[in-house]
Amino acid sequence: MEFTAKEIALLVNGTVDGNENVSITAPAKIEEAQKGNISFIAHSKYESFASTTKASVLLVGADFKSDKSISVTLIRVENVYAALAILLESYQGQSKPEEGIASNSFIHPTASVGSDASIGMFSIVEAGAKVGNNCLIYPQVYIGKNVVLGDDLILYPGVKIYHQCQIGDRCILHANVVIGSDGFGFTPNQDGQFEKIAQIGNVILESDVEVGANTVIDRGTMGSTIIRQGVKLDNLIQIAHNVEIGKHTVIAAQAGVAGSTQIGAHCQIGGQAGFVGHIKVADGTKVQAQSGVAAAIKKEQSAVYGSPAIGYSEYLRAYAGFKNLPSLIKKVRDLENRLRDLEKD
């Protein structure tokens, strides 16, 4: 990729302050940028780099000012992060694999592949599967029987989609995501051994869902595990059978949701949080990292913390007391000793 500052400004709807013809070949972190790189300043703590960076161009806010003399070309925009997203998307687009179906991939004769789809080497599309238009499927992807894929998907290497699952438009599944593996369903028999319960449901991802690398979403025992529109899942997350996650909820890495739990829309869930099964979590709930949610959350816009999770403010007050526990114990012992001395007198 090679653009001028003027071309980038047009792309991100910005204005150039400096040399509009300076050439840019790649984005870079502001601390590491060199000639030919573009970087950005979106936070005040990085403003000092404007006078020392070796980058050729910086994306900055429309009202950006520096107390020091700067020579770097600026592109001023209303929203730095929004402009950066556009820029990085454009840069990523330059590195996409070649379009078309690789000769050493396998497409079952009864499968259908939409127009402008790309299917990489050693990928498999099983019988009855439907691949939408403009899908980008990297090498070593497995698409099971009767899977339905929407339009404009990106499936990175190693993605596995089991039979009967459905993926909506514009979804992104990162490397080694597994969609539709069996739910954790077993029952003890008379001998105390655990026998498997068949998992005959599926997984439905609605449109604009993104799933991070190595995340697993289990199929429903019966019915569907459902990930609603716009949900964003980080890496290394476990979603169990028959879970439902509401629209535009975000979940950070290493979280786990047990079977049949329903998480509402617009929730924000921190890393390593855990949810027991068969509970409902209200819309807009915020769950602090490493919290354990062991009961339903009925009030919308709640914020919880701890394990088991309690109200966020309540937890902070309790934790403040916990930190002071050694000194409180010492005070109690001192008081006991003083009381004992008074009783002796």
Residues with catalytic function: 241
- Residue 188: partners with Cβ closer than 8 Å, 6 or more residues away: 194, 195
Cβ count near 52 (within 10 Å): 11
Per-residue H/E/C for the chain: CCEEHHHHHHHHCCEEECCCCCEECEECCCCCCCCCEEEECCCHHHHHHHHCCCCCEEEEECCCCCCCCCCCEEEEECCHHHHHHHHHHHHHHCCCCCCEECCCCEECCCCEECCCCEECCCCEECCCCEECCCCEECCCCEECCCCEECCCCEECCCCEECCCCEECCCCEECCCCEEEECCCCEEECCCCCEEECCCCCEEEECCCCEECCCCEEECCCCCEEEECCCCEECCCCEECCCCEECCCCEECCCCEECCCCEECCCCEECCCCEECCCCEECCCCEECCCCEECCCECCCCCEEEECCEEEHHHHHHHHHHHHCHHHHHHHHHHHHHHHHHHHHC
Token pair of 164, please?
A: 């009967």
State which amino acid sits at residue 14. G
DSSP-assigned beta bridge partners for residue 58:
39, 74
